[in-house]
């Protein structure tokens, strides 16, 4: 066995070596990846997309026959004669021709699937933007805490210096009281900054799914388009809200055609096979059972002549919904254009603020250094020193906020352009494939090879057939 002293020495050496390793830090990309992987909102909308995929399968099934079975057992008694009959029947019914009504339903369901996919992309952008905002808030709060902590240390030394000068008679108790007041105010600011940091950490936990770790500085700013017009043009082409609205317009156009098709005839065909078993009766009582087999086929054509105004109302409603969808598309385009312009302006404002604050910090630092030097010579009061230190502190705090606003504005611009996705950001992780489930269910599989493919898709997304989460 290894001696205890040797084991303890080895453990101490290992601990020392591990302590010398750099701590694991979390980048902004790590935060966005974690948010994408752990977002319950994304899981919810993926399930909604799968539900929309099933609508296509439901519409597709209308083109196929419906096969049903029925069994009955009847007893009757008339004039003292009892009759017992047992019937088993299989009936198949299928729409033969409906002038495109079912096909329009399929096309509408497909457009709704495409619209739901765009909605999922919009949710992805919201999730990633929330992660970026949470990351920057935690970083800014940490910097504010560090800044206020340094200020408390500095003012503590200033207060001690004021006490020393008071002890030798250079200043009055008023100067010491001013130093005490400023120190107390800075401690209150530190407590507030610490509280804001805890709030930011909770927001991070909600956005990402876990508590923040040691956060790295933000990466270089994303590249901005050459002009505002170029950014707006990209947003109109690629933003998921606009694409979703376009799909909604297409679906509403098909809805008008489908409402008109409701007035057309429909031709259906049916085929039935049944057997009836009943005991035969005679003058001498009940005889052997009789089995009767029936085979039937038929074609039926029908059309609604008068519906009490229902069909015209449905048609008018479809046209109103089409007009609403067109207006929604126009409104979505305007909102995207506004969001792009707002983010663009925020970038310019933040840049200008940072440039001005840098000059303010430089001047405030020089003023603070000069006032402190003059105070040691008796040319400045303690209040002058405290005011100069407060001006420098506020300028540094403003720069922290402005830098965070600049970072956030760049990612808000990407979101407004429709480019804040895992794919566009090149985060390098597998993403959810919205077409996998659709391809497995679009032909309404039951127990065929397609059904087996569907089972594999369900297992791949972490669910068992039947919708139960996989353990």
> So what's the pLDDT on residue 228?
95
Choose from 180-194, 224-238, 294-308, 387-401 the range with maximum mean pLDDT. 224-238
> So what's the pLDDT on residue 320?
97
Residue 468 pLDDT greater than 50, yes or no: no
Q: Look at 33-37, 41-45, 255-259, 276-280 and tell me which has the smallest mean pLDDT.
A: 276-280
Measured in residues, the chain has a length of 471
Q: Look at 41-45, 182-186, 466-470 and tell me which has the smallest mean pLDDT.
A: 466-470
**In 341-366, which positions are buried (b, 16+ CB within 10 angstroms) versus exposed (e)?**
bebbebbeebeebeeebeebbeebee
Is-contact 384 375, C-beta < 8 A?
Answer: yes
Distance CA 300, CA 308 (A): 23
> So what's the pLDDT on residue 383?
78
Give the chain's mean pLDDT: 85
Q: What is the pTM of this model?
A: 0.83
Residue 15: pLDDT band with limits 50, 70, 90:
very low
**Rounded average pLDDT over 98-122:** 93
**Rounded average pLDDT over 96-106:** 90
- What percent of the chain lies above the pLDDT cut of 70? 87
Angle (CA) 114-116-122 rounded to 5° is 110
> So what's the pLDDT on residue 353?
94
Residue 14 pLDDT greater than 50, yes or no: no
**Rounded average pLDDT over 422-448:** 86
**Rounded average pLDDT over 278-286:** 57
């Amino acid at each position: 066995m290894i001696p205890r002293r040797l084991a303890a020495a080895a453990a101490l050496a290992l601990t020392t070596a591990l302590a010398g390793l750099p701590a694991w830090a979390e980048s902004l990309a790590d935060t966005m990846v974690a948010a994408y992987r752990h977002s319950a909102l994304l899981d919810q909308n993926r399930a909604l997309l799968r539900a929309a995929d099933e609508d296509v399968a439901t519409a597709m099934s209308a083109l196929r026959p419906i096969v049903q079975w029925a069994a009955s057992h009847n007893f009757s008694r008339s004039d003292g004669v009892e009759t017992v009959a047992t019937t088993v029947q299989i009936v198949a019914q299928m729409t033969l021709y409906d002038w495109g009504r079912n096909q329009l339903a399929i096309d509408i369901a497909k457009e709704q699937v495409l619209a739901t996919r765009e909605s999922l992309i919009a949710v992805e952008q919201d999730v990633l933007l929330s992660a970026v905002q949470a990351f920057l808030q935690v970083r800014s709060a940490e910097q504010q805490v560090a800044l206020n902590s340094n200020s408390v240390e500095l003012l503590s030394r200033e207060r001690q210096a004021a006490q020393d000068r008071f002890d030798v008679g250079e200043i009055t108790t008023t100067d010491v009281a001013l130093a005490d007041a400023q120190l107390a105010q800075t401690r209150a600011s530190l407590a507030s900054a610490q509280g804001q940091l805890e709030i930011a950490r909770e927001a991070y936990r909600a956005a990402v799914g876990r508590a923040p770790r040691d956060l790295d500085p933000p990466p270089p700013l994303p590249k901005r388009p050459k002009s505002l017009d170029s950014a707006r043009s990209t947003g109109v082409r690629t933003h998921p809200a606009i694409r979703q609205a376009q799909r909604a317009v297409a679906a509403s156009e098909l809805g008008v055609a489908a409402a008109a098709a409701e007035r057309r005839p429909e031709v259906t065909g049916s085929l039935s096979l049944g057997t009836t078993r009943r005991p035969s009766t005679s003058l001498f009582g009940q005889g052997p059972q009789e089995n009767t087999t029936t085979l039937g086929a038929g074609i039926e054509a029908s059309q609604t002549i008068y519906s009490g105004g229902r069909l015209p109302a449905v048609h008018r409603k479809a046209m109103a919904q089409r007009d609403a969808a067109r207006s929604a598309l126009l409104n979505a385009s305007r909102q995207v254009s506004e969001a792009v312009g707002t983010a663009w302006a925020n970038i310019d404002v933040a840049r200008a603020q940072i440039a001005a604050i840098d000059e303010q910090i430089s001047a405030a630092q020089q003023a603070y250094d000069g006032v402190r030097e003059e105070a040691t010579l008796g040319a400045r009061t303690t209040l002058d020193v405290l005011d100069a230190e407060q001006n420098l502190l506020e300028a540094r705090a403003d720069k922290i906020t402005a830098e965070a606003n600049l970072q956030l504005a760049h990612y808000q611009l990407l979101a407004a352009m429709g480019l804040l996705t895992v794919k566009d950001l090149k985060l390098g992780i597998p993403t959810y494939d919205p077409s996998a489930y659709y391809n497995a269910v679009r032909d309404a599989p039951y127990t065929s090879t397609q059904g087996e493919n569907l089972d594999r898709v369900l297992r791949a997304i972490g669910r068992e057939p039947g919708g139960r989460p996989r353990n």
